């Protein structure tokens, strides 16, 4: 296991779905920062399950307890460490799963890797629950980035085949990002949200699940963030994004689509605008060239698979009896993880961006 | 800049397109390994430009000089360090580019990041030329992996809109991978290769360029490679892949497509075959669950943008005069980078896989 | 701040002397290990203050709470995370210290580094209290090392000018290490312990403090642990040792004394004993050559300064008034930190050794 | 092997004593720096053997070739990579050593660690020759530090029992450091140098060797450098110091001596001087408190063992015949490594200090 990430802004996660607690040690926050805990709670609530009929009915409170690093209402420069109690767990739900491997979950390779000693309950260390402290760390990062006028936001680009509009690649307003942040199903085109919700509920009815795509953006970045060759902006962001459970693809700018273009169309040509600001006529590269930010909006998309926990009968194996069996997963599960995972995507973007900013020395400037 | 990557199998790259040499320090190769230098040369030649009319006419010899770490025809356990002389450079070609920023190249953000001191000739440290030592390190990694029966291969999945067949997700034969390795335009469906070549030549005629997609695979992996939460197999592989110039998207298994599926279709159900081997009916997850390898073929796709260097007139800025200008890039450039980049993709896959293997302790077993 | 250390066996510390809790995230413990919590408690008690009149009268309970990574009485392979509640704190004792810098404490440079926002109470993040979770992690490491027959032990080599005998450099019995572990003032020569205790009490009477030296050993190590050039066995061990508060010197084998010798005396000559075991006639190098373990006992000494907290009047500065002032530190302090610090030295040795062992792949063999 | 060190200013070493070349990749040098190659050559010459009768008669030219990272007479921001050709090697000298283990050298544990495949010629990767690129990197670091008014210097504190005066712990003039830099045997008390030289020559006559101690200093450091808990200034400096061959002890300030003091004498009391500068009456802590620099001179001592290569007959083992044998090492060796190792100690101090400075963000300020 490797539970630590980041260079200057460093996160160490711990915990399993059904252990006493989960939590994080968050290193590298500059001293003297006032944290707005209403905002961290707001972000935690966005990710929290049990809020509506499109997410799991598990009701996790996600009360974050600060153990250190905060004194006289300011950060001390020493790590902020947090715990979140695991409550409302139904460990018995998982007792039958010990030997019956849930398809498309980590159960089988994890059992082999850890010689059967891993905590299998609720997915153990592989549970999406571990993303809660990521969201908390991301909420702090967002507040620090905001002091530098950097904003992060996202919307659901698609649920199954239902597509929302794309971000305007040339200019994204903070107002739009603020609006999206408050929505249950954040979309640029509001009518699409209703269609998406209905689609999710439709498949939920059958005990099935659906996947989708999140489009996210980081705006007002300084030029030159990124540490190529090997720590390009894309590399470090993709690295952490691919630790979000269920995420199977990452593309920047036009991504896979740009592979079907020709150079004369794909290239983002430069011009000086009337105020002598440097701009590009297009942003097919998603605000990143040579692994460095260009000051255009960083835009990326990530693909989530349908939640693997479905209540429809599935074929699988029983490792004890070594027989083919059928499995019907009970418990309370998200029919679609995308509306909650989107909050994690934003948190990851905030964490990685702050890490680059602190590394660059610009933050201190 | 961050020029080092890897934990146990660690690569440190150095050099710029027009510096005296480029090279790498390759740490972590176990002692006592015999390197087949015909095979490393074979891989270097696959990536080398100037071989055919679909790649740049620059003729780089890419003679690799071993400086250390090899004694009595075996590795010593100390780093293998290599240099590759930069020759056949036409530095004058780039003299006009100092102030005229080439669209979709790293020129502009690099100039800002390094206060104008970066070596701009030939893309400097951002040049695709830096992938040559990656290919060499990858060729060594492939040889070591082969001792554990692990094979890596790839084909061109698409050039612009022309698509090849996909790998069989359930079983990929080493014979196929061996065959692909020898082809100029490696495709599963041979007729497609001809169409792709014609498409590239068609756009080359106009001084334009095209993009494409590479599909790659790693077969016969042990179960459980990967170090989640933050060093999942996908995370580390995507991290290094995104340091390949021009790469804009990475997806594992069905990737973005799986986001349009429903859980009951997307899940990879398990079964025991007649020999009590554990298999899945599908491989939508591309051989990775919870960030761990499952022993099914690891399959991933990466998207490359069209080469940004085109000889068609483009709009850009002159940073000295602060005026909008027109730019026509001369020099010798690849009309399509995909056939050469594919070799780098394989090398990266080999390097990351070997690093995981050495980390796991399995290699020593 | 940098609160994470280790490659495979990795410790992330958090907390401040007067924050809610302190604790650690301990990564890299193999799955399936049964932890003997009597033994971890035994080690915690050895370090715990308030046991006797030669240590501070602060009574810290040091109850360790396990939050994750332990399931069905075995490690899961996921990090063990722990918290220790901060209790019996007298924060008021420190209120006057905000502006009056305690001599030879971290107060002054810490205040400058963190712009005055650091938690100054009880030394904050620089408190010796942070060594409690190190001792816990070390106690786990010791148990795992014992399975490989590796033992760690130490004694007080000197308190002020009172010197104990040295370890036998050629052979150290586990029985001796077991005996030392149980002593309040661990010495090879028992009469020395009494003299040392009297010396400490003598200076305590005056509100003064004394320093001393710890000699430690690691026995039965395999040959070749260490990763030179830069991660020599000495390098990594010294690195972590120098994070113990009050530690000002580290030497291996004869250390500073060997610098006064001549080569023909200093060299450790080899011989085969009657059973064809390879041995040396001396062990001036302390079991390490070229940064690699030789299988002879690793022996090292570390020097601790006298506790800087004394109740004798001292001259210092007041940063607010910018005046020279006098300071008399109240509160409960150790007249000599050595008997407690010795436990931390052993823990650090265990942690670093296990990290090397896991890295070497030998553990898995 | 672990050949990379540093966070922002990062060095990757490669090569073996008798491989084609040795060298380094030096990452993290800010762009736009003019390197004075006369100064790097001056430092290389200080370390170079063959200059006088107190060092080995091997005549290494140590011509450093720059391969990358330097363009238009300035650093580019991309790594500086260098090679130094191995010449004037007498590989045959070592042919008998394959099976006869040289006492107190790395030969034996290295042979075991690398299963006999390590390059044993001239000590291979464990040779002191590998410190040449460290000195080069240190010479660059010194030049950058000088821009911030930070100076590093050292003298020989002792050769065997002959002791030089100590640095004035309260104030060290740059003039003194400049003077010391130019001396063959740098001492504060000039008469001592002559005695030391005679002592070395005396033991050289017999084919024996002597050890000694280096005292080094870093002056004009800003307050607060260091990243405790685990990357204290002492920790990172000691870490890299212990990778210098033959170094067996490191102490800061009064070091082992302070362990014999009492708190009221050992504590460094503060005062405001007449210009309201903050000073201390003593500097027993060597300019570091809580792992952070205090702005007082950083002072540390390191102990070197006598060169293990002596031409006096020694007892050892032959691994092939498994018999006890006698060994007489031929070849050209330093009767005392201290005068050359001192240059490496300074280089390491410069490298680690610059790394801390770049990490702190102060450099960019």
Q: Is residue C364 part of a domain?
A: no
Q: Using the structure block, give the residue that is written with the tokens 């040289």.
A: D102
What's CA C66's distance to the chain center, in Å? 22
Q: Note whether A7 contacts D: Cβ–Cβ < 8 A.
A: yes
Cα nearest neighbour of C267 on chain D? D104
CATH at residue C299:
3.60.150.10
Does the structure show a pLDDT above 60 at B354? yes
Contacts of C198 (CB under 8 A, 6+ apart): none
Task: Indicate yes or no: CB of C363 within 8 angstroms of CB of B363.
Answer: no
What's CA D210's distance to the chain center, in Å? 17
| C-alpha dihedral (A252, A256, A260, A264), degrees to nearest 10 | 10
Structural contact between residues A222 and A292, judged by C-beta atoms closer than 8 angstroms: no
Which of A22, A107, A115, A119 should be substituted to probe chain C, the one whose Cβ sees the most C Cβ atoms within 10 Å?
Answer: A119
Model pLDDT, residue A1: 86
Structural contact between residues B164 and B192, judged by C-beta atoms closer than 8 angstroms: yes
Mean pLDDT of D30-53: 91
Structural contact between residues B339 and B55, judged by C-beta atoms closer than 8 angstroms: yes
Q: Is residue A364 part of a domain?
A: no
Task: Indicate yes or no: CB of B67 within 8 angstroms of CB of D21.
Answer: yes
Using DSSP's 3-state secondary structure scheme, residue A162 falls into strand
Contacts of A269 (CB under 8 A, 6+ apart): A280, A281, A282, B103, B314, B315, B316
Count CB-CB contacts under 10 A for residue D59: 13
Burial of residue C272 (number of CB atoms within 10 Å: 0-12, 13-18, 19+): middle
Residue-wise burial string across C168-194, b where 16 or more C-beta atoms lie within 10 A, e elsewhere = ebeebeeebbeebbeeebbbbeeebbe
Q: Using 50, 70 and 90 to split pLDDT, how confident is the model at A62?
A: confident
Residues 182-201 of D with CB under 8 A from A: none
| Average pLDDT value for chain D | 94
Model pLDDT, residue B185: 97
Task: Indicate yes or no: CB of D363 within 8 angstroms of CB of A364.
Answer: no
The range of the structural domain enclosing residue A41 comes to: 4-359
Cα nearest neighbour of B105 on chain A? A289
Structural contact between residues B185 and B162, judged by C-beta atoms closer than 8 angstroms: no
Mean pLDDT of D250-270: 98
Secondary structure letter of residue B164 according to DSSP: P
Beta bridge partners of B315: B326
Using DSSP's 3-state secondary structure scheme, residue B365 falls into coil
Percentage with pLDDT > 70 across chain D: 95
Q: Using 50, 70 and 90 to split pLDDT, how confident is the model at C54?
A: confident
Q: Which chain A residues are Cβ-neighbours of C6 within 8 angstroms?
A: none
Task: Indicate yes or no: CB of B365 within 8 angstroms of CB of C365.
Answer: yes
What are the helix (H) ranges across chain C?
Answer: 37-47, 107-113, 131-147, 174-181, 190-205, 233-241, 263-266, 338-360
Model pLDDT, residue A94: 59
Task: Indicate yes or no: CB of D236 within 8 angstroms of CB of C239.
Answer: yes
For C316, which of D209, D211, D270 is closest by C-beta distance? D270
Structural contact between residues C249 and D194, judged by C-beta atoms closer than 8 angstroms: no
Q: Note whether C163 contacts D: Cβ–Cβ < 8 A.
A: no
Model pLDDT, residue C62: 73
More confident residue, B295 or B96: B295
Mean pLDDT of D314-319: 96
For D22, which of B28, B65, B68 is closest by C-beta distance? B68
Could you give the CA distance from residue D200 to residue D307 in angstroms, rounded to a whole number?
Answer: 11
Q: Using 50, 70 and 90 to split pLDDT, how confident is the model at A88?
A: low
Q: Which chain D residues are Cβ-neighbours of B129 within 8 angstroms?
A: none
Q: Which chain A residues are Cβ-neighbours of C119 within 8 angstroms?
A: 71, 76, 78
What are the helix (H) ranges across chain A?
Answer: 37-47, 107-113, 131-147, 174-181, 190-205, 233-241, 263-266, 338-360
Beta bridge partners of C71: C74
Could you give the CA distance from residue C174 to residue C145 in angstroms, rounded to a whole number?
Answer: 13
Q: Is residue A230 part of a domain?
A: yes
> Rounded to 5 degrees, what are φ and ψ at A79?
-60, 140
Q: Using 50, 70 and 90 to split pLDDT, how confident is the model at A168?
A: very high
Q: Is residue B365 part of a domain?
A: no
Q: Note whether D364 contacts A: Cβ–Cβ < 8 A.
A: yes
- What are the pLDDT digits (tens) for D195-232? 999 999 999 999 999 999 999 999 999 999 999 999 99
Task: Indicate yes or no: CB of A4 within 8 angstroms of CB of C19.
Answer: no
Q: Is residue A365 part of a domain?
A: no
Task: Indicate yes or no: CB of B365 within 8 angstroms of CB of C363.
Answer: no
CB pairs under 8 A between A and D: 13
Mean pLDDT of A8-27: 97
Model pLDDT, residue B1: 87
Q: Which chain D residues are Cβ-neighbours of C214 within 8 angstroms?
A: none
Q: Is residue B273 part of a domain?
A: yes
Instruction: Report which of B214, B73, B227, B219 is spatially closest to residue B146, judged by C-alpha positions.
Output: B219
Q: What angle do CA A5, A8, A11 make, to 5 degrees?
A: 35
- What are the pLDDT digits (tens) for B198-237? 999 999 999 999 999 999 999 999 999 999 999 999 999 9
The pTM of the full predicted model, rounded to 2 decimals, is 0.97
For D104, which of C110, C239, C266 is closest by C-beta distance? C266
Using DSSP's 3-state secondary structure scheme, residue A245 falls into coil
Structural contact between residues A4 and C4, judged by C-beta atoms closer than 8 angstroms: yes
Could you give the CA distance from residue D359 to residue A24 in angstroms, rounded to a whole number?
Answer: 23
Residue-wise burial string across A191-220, b where 16 or more C-beta atoms lie within 10 A, e elsewhere = ebbebbbebbeebbeebbbbbbbbbbbbbe
Show the tokens assigned to B66.
């071993």
Q: Note whether D10 contacts B: Cβ–Cβ < 8 A.
A: yes
Show the tokens assigned to A282.
């297009």
Q: Is residue B299 part of a domain?
A: yes
What sign does the CA torsion over A40, A42, A46, A48 have? positive
Residues 330-359 of D with CB under 8 A from C: none
Does the structure show a pLDDT above 70 at B275? yes
Q: Is residue A24 part of a domain?
A: yes
| Average pLDDT value for chain B | 94
Contacts of B162 (CB under 8 A, 6+ apart): B192, B195, B196, B199
Task: Indicate yes or no: CB of B258 within 8 angstroms of CB of A248.
Answer: yes
Model pLDDT, residue B18: 95
Return left, alpha or beta for D203; rule: phi > 0 is left, psi -120 to 50 is alpha, else beta. Answer: alpha
Q: Using the structure block, give the residue that is written with the tokens 């009597």.
A: C38
Cα nearest neighbour of D18 on chain B? B68
Q: Using 50, 70 and 90 to split pLDDT, how confident is the model at D365?
A: very low
Show the tokens assigned to C217.
């050993």
- What are the pLDDT digits (tens) for B129-155? 999 999 999 999 999 999 999 999 999
Does the structure show a pLDDT above 70 at A150? yes
Burial of residue A324 (number of CB atoms within 10 Å: 0-12, 13-18, 19+): middle
Give the distance from residue B297's alpha carbon to the nearest chain C alpha carbon, in angstroms. Answer: 25
For D256, which of C242, C249, C263 is closest by C-beta distance? C249
Q: Note whether D235 contacts B: Cβ–Cβ < 8 A.
A: no
Q: How many domains are contained in chain A? A: 1
Task: Indicate yes or no: CB of D364 within 8 angstroms of CB of A364.
Answer: yes
- What are the pLDDT digits (tens) for C314-364? 999 999 999 999 999 887 789 999 999 999 999 999 999 999 999 997 654
Which of D4, D9, D10, D14 should be substituted to probe chain B, the one whose Cβ sees the most B Cβ atoms within 10 Å?
Answer: D14
> How many residues are there in chain D?
365
Strand intervals (E) in D148-246: 151-159, 162-163, 212-219
């Amino acid at each position: 296991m490797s539970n630590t990430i980041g260079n200057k802004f460093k996160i160490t996660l711990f915990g399993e779905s059904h252990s006493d607690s989960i939590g994080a040690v968050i290193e590298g926050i500059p001293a003297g920062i006032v944290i707005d805990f209403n905002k961290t709670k707001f972000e935690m609530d966005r990710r929290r399950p049990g809020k509506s009929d499109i997410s799991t009915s598990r009701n996790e409170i996600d009360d974050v307890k600060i153990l250190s690093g905060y004194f006289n209402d300011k950060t001390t420069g020493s790590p902020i460490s947090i715990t979140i109690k695991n409550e409302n767990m139904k460990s018995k739900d998982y007792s039958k799963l010990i030997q019956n491997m849930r398809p498309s979950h980590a159960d089988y390779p994890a059992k082999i890797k850890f010689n059967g000693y891993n905590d299998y309950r609720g997915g153990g260390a592989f549970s999406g629950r571990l993303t809660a402290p990521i969201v908390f760390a991301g909420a702090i990062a967002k507040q620090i980035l905001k002091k530098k006028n950097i904003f992060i936001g996202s919307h659901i680009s698609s649920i199954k085949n239902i597509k929302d509009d794309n971000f305007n690649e040339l200019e994204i307003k903070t107002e739009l990002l603020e609006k999206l942040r408050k929505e249950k199903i954040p979309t640029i085109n509001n009518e699409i949200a209703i269609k998406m919700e209905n689609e999710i509920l439709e498949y939920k009815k059958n005990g099935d699940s659906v996947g989708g795509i999140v489009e996210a953006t980081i705006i007002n970045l300084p030029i030159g963030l990124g540490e190529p060759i090997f720590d390009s902006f894309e590399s470090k962001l993709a690295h952490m994004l691919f630790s979000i459970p269920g995420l199977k693809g990452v593309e920047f700018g036009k991504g896979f689509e740009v592979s079907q273009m020709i150079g004369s169309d794909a290239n983002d040509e430069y011009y000086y605008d009337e105020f002598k600001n440097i701009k590009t006529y297009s942003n097919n590269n998603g605000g990143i060239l040579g692994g460095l930010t260009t000051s255009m909006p960083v835009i990326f998309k990530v693909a989530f698979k349908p939640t693997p926990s479905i209540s429809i009968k599935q074929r699988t194996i029983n490792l004890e009896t070594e027989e083919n069996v059928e499995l019907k997963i009970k418990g309370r599960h998200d029919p679609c993880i995308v509306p909650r995972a989107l909050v994690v995507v934003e948190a990851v973007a905030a964490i990685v961006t702050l890490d680059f900013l602190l590394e660059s020395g610009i933050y201190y400037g």
